[in-house]
Amino acid sequence: MRKSKRKGRTETVRLELCDLCAATFAESGAVRGYVPHSSSASSTNDWFDGLRRITTCGAEHFTVIKALYEQRPFVQEELWAAKITQALTASPPVLSITELASRTGLHEPEIERAIAWHNERRSPRRMT
């Protein structure tokens, strides 16, 4: 960061928020990384699909939150549903299953499984 030449002027410090303890701290002290998370679809790069970016106030909290996320089951249908949701909320709107398949990179049976999974979880009459 470039220092200000003006006397008495304060420098801007970017702040971060810890994903574990919610503490606010200077960005320079952040520990970041990715954890597996099947609800996370990247809007910019398919390589990051299924990965969630974590920011913590230190290495200790990163280790704790990483262990918590690793206990969460990775559900393939959840990731497909996240990709579908992303495609459906982007513009221009998706007009057909073929177009949805093209945008998400999913095959139609995968789309059908993802929709079934989504609807099962959204149903207010679910018995499980």
| Residues in contact with Zn ion by the rule CB under 5 A | 18, 20-21, 23, 57, 61
Min CB(19)–Zn ion separation in Å: 8
**Cβ proximity to Zn ion, 28 vs 123, nearer residue:** 28
**Cβ proximity to Zn ion, 30 vs 114, nearer residue:** 30
Rg of the chain on CA atoms, in Å: 20
Are 107 and 98 within 8 A, CB to CB?
Answer: no
Of 86, 20, 28, 75, the residue nearest 50 (C-alpha): 75
| Residue, CB closest to Zn ion | 18
Min CB(69)–Zn ion separation in Å: 15
**Cβ proximity to Zn ion, 18 vs 100, nearer residue:** 18
Instruction: Report how far residue 105's alpha carbon sits from residue 88's, in angstroms, rounded to the nearest whole number.
Output: 13
